[in-house]
Amino acid sequence: MRVAIAGAGNVGLYIANAMCAAGHDVLLMDSDTDVVRSRQPRSAEGIDWRNVDACEVSSLRACGLETCDVLVAATGDDEDNLVVSLLGKQEFAVPRVIARVNNPKNEWLFNETWGVDIAVSTPHLIAGLVEEAVSTGRLVRLLQLERGRARLVEVTLEPTSPIVGQTIRDLDLPRNFNFVAVLRDGHVVVPRGDTTFYAGDEVMALVTDESEEEVRKLVIG
């Protein structure tokens, strides 16, 4: 798989090294000559470095962006990330575009209109993880997928939860929903039909806009 990354800062370089270590063909772009010069020696061997402006169509064409399977807009500027995402999707038809959100106030812009398939907001992700760590009996959103139409949620079951003491096959589950994992006593339980839920279980599930409210009633009451 060929992965293109715009922005060679700490985030972009880390992603590039990780993807290269996983055996992927990596293209890393940055317009700042000093950044390229200082960071290239710290990168994994085999990464295709380009000192170009990823907000320019001519630069992306010269880099062969149309051959990439995934584009990651990882610069420290939300405006640049939106432009890169839009160009990648509309001009080069990159199948998967992932964009970094630096300012949470801008997250509403990172959608299919701007060519973004997945938006990653670090502040929102951290806030969700903190809420997950301190909350019980509440449905906490951890990660958004498919332009926000699907999301990974988590809830720590209270003794009053309607599903406590029941198995998955006993439940009338809504459509567009699936249990992903159960964290119990420091162990991960892969949900199956005979999995029984207990108070204190941390339950992770994949929901959609249509199923989230039904899931909330199912696991919280």
Residue count (the chain): 221
Average pLDDT, stretch 40-58? Answer: 94
Average pLDDT, stretch 104-108? Answer: 88
What is the per-residue pLDDT for 147? Answer: 60
What is the per-residue pLDDT for 122? Answer: 76
Name the 3-class secondary structure at 79.
Answer: helix
What is the per-residue pLDDT for 80? Answer: 97
Nearest to 97 by CA among 76, 78, 111: 111
* Domains by residue range for the chain, with CATH: 2-120 (3.40.50.720), 135-219 (3.30.70.1450)
What is the model's pTM?
A: 0.68
Between 166 and 138, whose confidence is greater? 166
